[in-house]
Chain A
Amino acid sequence: MTPAIELRSVGVRYSSGPLWARRHVQAMEDVSFQIAAGETLGLVGESGSGKSTTGKVCLGLVRPTQGQVSFDGAPFASRRTTRGRLAAVLQHPQWSLNPRLHVGMSVAEPLAINQSSSSEERRRVVASMLERVGLEPSLAKRYPHQLSGGQRQRVAIARALVTHPRFIVFDEAVSALDVSVQAQILNLIRELQEQAGFAALFISHDLAAVRYIAKRVAVMYAGSIVELATAATFYARGLHPYSRGLQAASDLIDEPDARLSGLTEDVVREGCALTPRCPLAFDKCGRERPELRPLDGDLVACHRAGGA
């Protein structure tokens, strides 16, 4: 079966500054993964790890400077080809909806863009969609400021699902919500995925939320994927020292020597980017950049992994 989305060796380099003093930042380097229909890939990492850029590449908002993105087996050509098959739920509940449009219009927007349905049909679809995400259909006539944060995020999910997309990116979609509302939304995403079978990329800094939603987890550090493993492997302990560090920091595992040291600003040009912060680093790490290699069915980029 063709994956809903596939990234092959994708790299993104941002350039800034005047022409005579150009500065470049490698936001993504050699990132490859695929997500099948009905599957959720969790993407974790700290700020600056490149996970938001990865999300933007998947949404076609950032053009890769290297590698290819294919969507449903075909290269990502233009918005026209992905219309109705690609959707996103983003972070800020207070900004997720246009404050000047009523909720029904926001939810119907992806349909209106496709122009494949009459406005009567759209009204019906919107009502049933709102019901599916656990909202009263009468909410369609309200404005966003009349809704709570949780309700707005439900509306954003309804809007994402209204065209039955093949692939949805959730970028920090539950991070701004309170615990009890977060649980409601997480359950909703899981149920809807079981029913609708879309592929999902769930980007979050919250390891517990990712654990709940994703079957596979990709860990990014300094623009590269350092581990791509099943949730079972990752949450058992993880293969990469960085994965363990992240989990120790969020208290999902209690392993004192797994803690990462130093600050995230450390830039490393040679060898493994994690070297200055890694509790397991040895001389090879500073010289040679580890490749992402298979290990018991998972992938890891670390010289130490697997007992070496």
Chain B
Amino acid sequence: MRNDAPPARPIVTISDLVIEFRTRRQRVRALDGASLSVAEGEKVGLVGESGSGKSTLALSLARLLPTNAEHVSGDLTVAGKSIFAMDTASLRAVRRRTLSYVFQDPIGTLDPTMRVGRQISSVLNGVSQRSAVASSLLEVGLTDHKRIARSYPHELSGGMAQRVSIAVALAAKPQVVIADEPTASLDASIRAQILDLLVSLCAGHGTALVLLSHDLRAIAHYCERVAVMYGGRVVEDGPTANVFSEPFHPYSRALMKAAPGQERLGGRIEPIPGVPPILGGREERCTFAPRCRFALESCHSERPGEQRTAGRRVICHRVEGGLPPLPR
């Protein structure tokens, strides 16, 4: 048992999950033993570049992966039940009641042929009164709820549509909301409003939030815990403040150093050399080693294991070997 476990019981547990995609020419391993747990009501940020596996991880939660994806090994439980062992009926129940998603493109997510009001009432578990629809629209800050309920998605602005899709996502009072780049297509000022709303609503309902974003500042601002993904694994996972102030994994450090905005004006940022890996199968070394400034010999030859230290889980040979922390 982990001694640093949060007091609340976990609602999502992912352990050593391996997912592969078959394409005509090759197999691509999107997740290579990813582990993560999310406690009830917890706000977890998931960061990583494209190809790191974060979207695959997010979609695995409700088994929404495309048909060429294959669950190779490992397990994923939601509310104590294994998602991959579930029959269709209980999977549908999970998708309806336990989990919900907020995606990047709100207008594309909503049904273009259905008025907003009906879309919300259809997820309200049969409760179709106007008042319930109105209150869920009011809850997401849409005071003009009568007009909005009558509108079609394409008649709304991006920010309004994202509010509606948050209302839809939260209407069934799920236990976990997975938000995949929910503000990437919105303007900066609206971005903050939407994230404020999402986070405060989740807090109000006691809903756990998994926020996928490439915006490190947003993650630092809104999430209490952050998980950094690289090469299909969660390479570092811990309280946001600690991970951001003193990253243990060289990739976490490199990611933060590469983001502009934290350097002094006119200073330089340090790009990460090279490109992220595309895995063909189980990797028997650290996938970050070729790009890592701090790589040891063992990094190129041995698969690093998981270390728990100071409230964090890290997958790195340096931490495993008890080497001194990374330079700032």
Binding site for B on A (CB under 8 A): 46-47, 148, 150, 178-184, 186-187, 205, 207-209, 211-212, 231-232, 235, 245-246, 248-252, 259-260, 263-265
Contact = CB atoms under 8 A, between A and B. Distances in A.
B255 A46 contact: no
B284 to A, nearest CB: 24
Contacts of A47: 187
Nearest to A212: B260
A208 B260 contact: yes
28 contacts: A178-B276, A179-B216, A180-B258, A180-B271, A180-B272, A182-B258, A183-B258, A183-B260, A183-B270, A183-B271, A184-B271, A186-B271, A187-B268, A187-B269, A187-B271, A205-B188, A209-B260, A212-B260, A212-B263, A231-B266, A235-B265, A245-B189, A249-B189, A250-B191, A250-B192, A259-B192, A260-B189, A263-B160
Given A249-B188, A259-B192, A179 B157 contact: no
B140 to A, nearest CB: 14
Contacts of B265: 211, 231-232, 235
B189 A46 contact: yes
A231 B261 CA distance: 12
B254 A180 contact: yes
Contacts of B159: 263
Interface of B: 49-50, 157, 159-160, 187-192, 214, 216-218, 220-221, 254-255, 258-261, 263, 265-266, 268-272, 275-276
Contact of B187 (A46, A209, A252): A46
A211 B254 contact: no
Given A211-B265, A235-B265, A248-B192, A205 B49 contact: no
Question: Is chain A's interface secondary structure helix, strand, loop, or mixed overall?
Answer: helix
A141 B270 CA distance: 30
Contacts of B192: 248-251, 259
A264 B190 contact: yes
A179 B261 contact: no
Contacts of A207: 188, 261
Contacts of A245: 189
A231 B157 CA distance: 32
A178 B50 contact: yes
Given A47-B187, A259-B192, A264-B189, 10 more contacts: A46-B188, A178-B214, A184-B271, A184-B272, A187-B269, A231-B265, A231-B266, A249-B189, A249-B191, A263-B159
B269 A252 contact: no
Contacts of B217: 208, 250-252
A268 to B, nearest CB: 16
Nearest to A248: B192
Nearest to A149: B50
Contacts of B188: 46, 205, 207, 246, 249-250
Contacts of B263: 212
A179 B189 contact: no
Contact of A180 (B49, B160, B187, B220): B49
Given A148-B275, A265-B157, A179 B187 contact: no
A182 B271 CA distance: 8
A100 B269 CA distance: 35
A178 B254 CA distance: 13
B254 A251 contact: no
A242 to B, nearest CB: 9
B271 A246 contact: no
A246 B189 CA distance: 6
